[in-house]
């Protein structure tokens, strides 16, 4: 947490400096994603599938404080983010949500829970790029910090005789997700002040994505009421293919 505070303060300083001088560019992105979930501190919960996200859509901006150095920022939507988690022990894993059937509060051992999440994202970071070679510039963007605000959360149960789809699980997903990332790519000039952008980005959350459910213990009878808090940190990771245009 201290590292997050220090880096955020540093980028805030760069941001304030950038807007006092230099050039501004803006653009739009349409960027397909692949995401997955992992429980970082509980080996009884494991990632078991990816989500092919409906693209990230939004505006991106760059404020240059030197010729090839810029503060980046933006505002956009990230659709169908998530993946699948396999739980060795079942129970009331979405205990805070009003599910379509009460049986989903008593899930069996070995159940797979699939998440489909939607966020409004506010990213900011630092971009460095090369001089132009012909019509092409290469760039790296790091670090990138993103605040995600949850707007929708749907879940599904897979791999049991009580499979379901599109349960509203918003009450079992945390409202805010803070993540870090890196990216790199190329810009292809199509005019004096415009360019097509292509790149690849990696993103990893540092905050817990899901709220804790209740599970049964390893020696519990399947009919026992779940009583053990999962107390696990779930992180969201992903790869994005950045496709965009800058002006």
Residue ranges of domains in the chain, CATH in brackets? 2-246 (2.40.160.20)
Say how far apart CA 30 and CA 57 lie, in whole Å.
Answer: 5
Cβ-proximal residues to 246 (8 Å cutoff; 6+ apart), any chain = 25, 26, 27, 60, 62, 187, 194, 195, 197
**DSSP states of 27-52:** EEEEEEEEEEEEETT-TTEEE--EEE
Give whole-number Cα distances, 133 to 97, 130, 142, 187, in Å: 54, 8, 22, 10
Q: What is the pLDDT of residue 225?
A: 74
Candidates 210, 166, 206, 236; CA nearest to 4 is 206
| Measured torsion, CA atoms of residues 173, 202, 244, 33, in degrees rounded to the nearest 10 | -50
First and final C-alpha spacing in the chain: 36
Residue 221's pLDDT is: 66
Cβ-in-10-Å burial (0-12, 13-18, 19+) of 143 comes to middle
Structural tokens at position 77: 């939507």
- A 10 A CB-CB count for 133 gives 9
Q: Which residues of the chain have pLDDT under 50?
A: 3-4, 7, 11, 15, 18-19
**Interatomic CA distance for residues 121 and 178, integer angstroms:** 10
- How high is the pLDDT of residue 222? 66
In a 13 Å sphere around the CA of 143, the CA atoms on its Cβ side amount to 15
Rounded Cα gap, residues 129 and 141, in angstroms: 8
Using CA atoms, how far apart are residues 143 and 7, in angstroms rounded to an integer? 9
Q: Measured between alpha carbons, how far is residue 12 from residues 1, 115, 126, 137 in Å?
A: 16, 33, 11, 26
Q: For the chain, how many helices (H) and strands (E)? A: 1, 13
What confidence score (pLDDT) does residue 9 get? Answer: 56
* 101 within 8 A of 171, measured Cβ to Cβ: no
DSSP bridge pairs for 229: 214
pLDDT of residue 227: 77
């Amino acid at each position: 947490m201290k590292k997050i505070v220090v880096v955020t303060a540093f980028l805030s300083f760069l941001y304030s400096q950038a807007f006092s001088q230099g050039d501004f560019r803006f653009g739009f992105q349409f960027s397909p994603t692949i995401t997955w979930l992992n429980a970082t501190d509980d080996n009884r919960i494991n990632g078991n599938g990816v989500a092919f996200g409906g693209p990230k859509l939004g505006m991106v901006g760059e404020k240059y404080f030197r010729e090839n150095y810029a503060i980046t920022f933006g505002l956009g939507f990230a659709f169908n983010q998530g993946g699948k988690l396999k739980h060795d022990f079942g129970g009331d894993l979405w205990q805070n949500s009003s599910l379509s059937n009460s049986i989903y509060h008593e899930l069996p051992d070995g159940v797979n829970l699939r998440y489909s999440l939607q966020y409004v994202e506010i990213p900011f970071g630092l971009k460095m790029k090369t001089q132009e070679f012909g019509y092409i510039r290469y760039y790296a963007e790091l670090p990138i910090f993103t605040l995600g605000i949850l707007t929708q959360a749907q879940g599904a149960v897979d791999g049991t005789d009580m499979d379901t789809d599109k349960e509203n699980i918003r009450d079992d997903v945390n409202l805010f997700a803070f993540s870090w990332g890196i990216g790199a790519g190329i810009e292809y000039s199509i005019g004096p002040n415009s360019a097509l952008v292509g790149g690849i980005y990696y993103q990893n959350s540092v905050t817990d994505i899901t709220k804790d459910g209740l599970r049964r213990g390893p020696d519990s009878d399947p009919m026992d009421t779940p009583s053990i808090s999962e107390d696990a940190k779930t992180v969201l990771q992903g790869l994005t293919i950045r496709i965009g245009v800058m002006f």
